[in-house]
Amino acid sequence: MKKRGIIVAAGISLVAIGTLSFHMDDSINASSKNDQDTLQNYPDGKYSGQSRYKYIDEPYWGSVSFTLKEGLFTGIDFIIRDSALHEPFDSLYAKHFKDNELYIQQCRNDWKGVQSYPKKLMETQEIDKLDALSGATWSYNIFKASVKEALKRVSRNP
């Protein structure tokens, strides 16, 4: 009889803990969603931004343009431009480092980033949830800073 009471009490406790944790998880998720700087706070339209991030001693500028529709990214274009050579950073840019295999590989990695980050942002829909590709941190930082600059402009011009 005593064992049955302990088993019933343990069962009730487990149900209570499970119910509380389920509801607590919902309140945490709802709260964090409200605290996030999501795109749903921005009006629909086409926006653009430019940034060099912290690479101010280098001649590279990231430029991004995107469309917001119903609070979501629906189109993103991203380029990095070399303002000293007046050319885009693209798949051929490594030609400037023909005898430096380390820089050639870096160019390849960052070119993959330039191509991938817009697609990844379309998937995640949140710039702060975007992850850098291995070896493509430079293009990641410039992309992220350019998007944030564009979002600053959106919030200033509702």
* Radius of gyration, CA atoms only, the chain: 24
Q: What are the pLDDT digits (tens) for 40-91?
A: 578 899 999 999 999 999 999 999 999 999 989 989 999 999 999 999 999 9
Distance separating alpha carbons of residues 98 and 30, to the nearest angstrom:
52
**Does residue 109 contact residue 129 with C-beta atoms inside 8 Å?**
no
Q: What are the pLDDT digits (tens) for 96-145?
A: 999 999 999 999 999 999 999 999 999 999 999 999 999 999 999 999 99
Tell me which residue of 107, 74, 116 sits closest to 89, measured CA to CA: 107
Tell me which residue of 150, 135, 139, 153 sits closest to 80, measured CA to CA: 139
Q: The domain 43-156: what is its CATH number?
A: 3.90.1010.20
